[in-house]
C-alpha cells in the first residue's frame, strides 16, 4: 500500500465522491480529520483504504464556515464517520448535516450541544493568559534595568486572544 | 539523579540505559541563559540566577550568573525534549527513570539547582 494519492473534492460532490470510492474498493474508513487554514476555511481530510488491492487515497474538501455553511455528513456511506464528525463539530465548531434529520450525539440520545470549539486558533488558552510566561525573567538584571522594561512577545499567543473570563 | 524523597519501582527498577524517563539538570554546566525556559512549549521550566563577581577571573575579575532556582514542573512536562536539544551547554539530559507519582501538586516541581 503505499502510494498516497490525494484528491481535492468540491464541497457539493463530497458524499458522492466518497460513495464512488467505496464502490471501487476503498471501503475502509481510516480516519476523518480537520485542519483550519490561515484563510479561516476548514479542510476535511478523509483517508480511505482498499485492503484487498492495497491502495489508499486521501479525499480533501474545503469549506468556509463564516456564512454558516453546513457540511454534508459521510455517515450514510461510512457509519464510522459519525464519530470523527462528532469530534470535528465539538472541537472545530463545524456544522454537519446528517441524513433523516438525525443528530450527532455525545453519549446517550441527547443531541449534541456545541461547547466552545477548543481547537480553533481563535480559542484562547486560559492558562497562557492567566499565567506569566516564565521566559520574561531576565536573570542577573537589576529590577530597574532598562532591558527588564522591554516587553518580550509571548511565543504562540496570537495578539487576538482575549481572556475568556475576568 | 536528583535527590527525591520518595522512590518507586521505576526509580529503582532495572530499565534500559537510554530510556527517556525524565529530564534532569547538571547545575554545574548551566549558564542560566534562559534558552530552555523560552523554548519550552508548555512553560514548565522556571529559572532564576544572581549575578556574582569573580575577582580571580582575569585582571579585573569577571561577573557571571549563579543559578539560584531551576525547576521543571514534571506535572506539566510532556517529555518532548526540546529543552535538551536547545541547551547550548548540554546541562539538560535524559534520565532513564521516570518521575515518580506524588501525593500533591507541589511535589511535581522539585528544585534541581
The answer on pLDDT for A111 being more than 90 is no
CATH number of the domain enclosing B86: 3.30.70.3270
Average pLDDT over residues A90-108: 73
Domain count, chain A: 2
End-to-end CA distance of chain B: give it in Å, rounded: 12
Please give the residue range of the domain that contains residue A155: 124-166
Q: How confident is the model at residue A143 (pLDDT cuts 50, 70, 90)?
A: confident
User: Does B46 touch chain A if contact means CB atoms closer than 8 Å?
Assistant: yes
Per DSSP, the three-state class of A155 is coil
- Which residue is it, cell 531551576? B70
In a domain, B101, yes or no: yes
Q: Which of A62-66, A83-87, A98-102 has the lowest mean pLDDT?
A: A98-102
* CA-closest candidate to residue B34, choices B58, B74, B70, B63: B70
Of the partner residues B32, B43, B51, the one whose CB lies closest to the CB of residue A134:
B43
The chain A residue lying nearest B73, using CA atoms, is A134
CA-CA distance, B21 to B33, in Å (whole number)? 25
Which residues sit opposite B9 in a β-bridge?
none
Q: Do B34 and A137 touch (CB under 8 A)?
A: yes
Please give the residue range of the domain that contains residue B96: 17-108
- pLDDT for res B4: 47
Q: Do B37 and A134 touch (CB under 8 A)?
A: yes
- pLDDT for res A25: 94
Residues of chain A positioned with their CB less than 8 A from the CB of B47: 134, 137, 139
Return all residues near A130 (Cβ < 8 A) that are at least 6 apart: A163
Exposed/middle/buried for residue A122 (C-beta within 10 Å: 0-12, 13-18, 19+): exposed
In a domain, B100, yes or no: yes
Q: Do B34 and A135 touch (CB under 8 A)?
A: yes
**Residues in chain B where the model's pLDDT stays below 70:** 1-13
In a domain, B1, yes or no: no
Return all residues near A59 (Cβ < 8 A) that are at least 6 apart: A6, A7, A9, A14, A17, A18, A21, A45, A46, A48
CATH number of the domain enclosing A60: 3.30.460.80
Count Cβ–Cβ pairs < 8 Å, chain A vs chain B.
Answer: 35
In a domain, B8, yes or no: no
Q: How confident is the model at residue A69 (pLDDT cuts 50, 70, 90)?
A: confident
Q: How confident is the model at residue A101 (pLDDT cuts 50, 70, 90)?
A: low
In a domain, B42, yes or no: yes
A93/A61: higher pLDDT: A61
ipTM of the prediction greater than 0.90, yes or no: no
Quote the mean pLDDT of chain A: 84
Q: Do B43 and A137 touch (CB under 8 A)?
A: no
One domain, residues A151 and A95: no
User: Does B50 touch chain A if contact means CB atoms closer than 8 Å?
Assistant: yes
B36/A111: higher pLDDT: B36
Chain A positions with Cβ closer than 8 Å to B: 128, 131, 133-135, 137-141, 155-156
Residues of chain B positioned with their CB less than 8 A from the CB of A138: 34
Neighbour count for residue A91 (Cβ, 10 Å): 16
Of the partner residues A128, A139, A156, the one whose CB lies closest to the CB of residue B48:
A139
Q: How far is A129 from chain B (nearest CA, A)?
A: 12
CA-CA distance, B66 to A140, in Å (whole number)? 8
User: Does B30 touch chain A if contact means CB atoms closer than 8 Å?
Assistant: no
Q: Phi and psi dihedrals of A129, rounded to 5?
A: -100, -30
Q: How far is B31 from chain A (nearest CA, A)?
A: 10
Question: What is chain A's Cα-based Rg?
Answer: 22
Q: How far is B54 from chain A (nearest CA, A)?
A: 14
- pLDDT for res A59: 96
Domain count, chain B: 1
CA-CA distance, A127 to A132, in Å (whole number)? 9
In a domain, A31, yes or no: yes
Per DSSP, the three-state class of A62 is strand
In a domain, A108, yes or no: no
Q: How confident is the model at residue A95 (pLDDT cuts 50, 70, 90)?
A: confident
Amino acid at each position: 500500500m503505499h502510494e498516497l494519492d490525494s484528491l481535492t473534492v468540491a464541497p457539493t460532490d463530497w458524499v458522492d465522491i466518497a460513495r464512488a470510492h467505496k464502490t471501487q474498493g476503498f471501503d475502509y474508513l481510516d480516519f476523518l480529520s480537520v485542519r483550519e487554514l490561515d484563510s479561516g476555511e476548514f479542510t476535511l481530510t478523509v483517508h480511505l483504504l482498499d485492503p484487498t488491492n492495497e491502495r489508499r487515497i486521501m479525499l480533501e474538501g474545503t469549506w468556509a464556515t463564516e456564512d454558516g455553511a453546513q457540511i454534508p455528513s459521510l455517515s450514510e456511506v461510512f457509519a464510522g464517520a459519525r464519530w470523527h464528525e462528532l469530534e470535528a463539530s465539538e472541537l472545530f465548531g463545524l456544522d454537519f448535516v446528517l441524513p433523516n434529520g438525525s443528530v450527532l450525539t455525545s453519549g446517550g440520545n441527547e443531541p449534541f450541544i456545541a461547547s466552545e470549539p477548543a481547537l480553533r486558533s481563535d480559542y484562547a488558552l486560559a492558562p497562557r493568559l492567566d499565567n506569566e510566561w516564565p521566559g520574561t525573567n531576565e536573570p542577573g538584571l537589576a529590577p530597574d534595568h532598562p532591558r527588564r522594561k522591554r516587553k518580550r512577545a509571548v511565543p504562540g499567543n496570537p495578539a487576538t486572544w482575549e481572556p475568556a473570563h475576568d | 539523579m536528583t535527590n527525591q524523597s520518595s522512590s518507586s519501582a521505576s526509580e529503582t527498577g532495572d530499565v534500559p540505559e537510554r530510556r527517556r524517563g525524565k529530564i534532569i539538570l547538571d547545575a554545574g554546566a548551566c549558564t542560566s541563559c534562559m534558552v530552555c525556559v523560552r523554548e519550552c512549549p508548555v512553560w514548565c521550566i522556571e529559572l532564576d540566577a544572581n549575578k556574582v563577581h569573580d575577582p580571580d577571573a582575569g585582571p579585573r575579575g569577571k561577573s557571571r550568573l549563579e543559578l539560584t532556582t531551576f525547576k521543571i514542573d514534571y506535572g506539566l512536562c510532556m517529555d518532548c525534549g526540546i529543552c535538551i536539544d536547545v541547551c547550548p551547554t548540554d546541562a539538560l539530559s535524559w534520565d532513564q527513570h521516570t518521575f515518580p507519582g506524588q501525593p500533591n501538586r507541589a511535589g511535581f516541581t522539585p528544585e534541581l539547582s
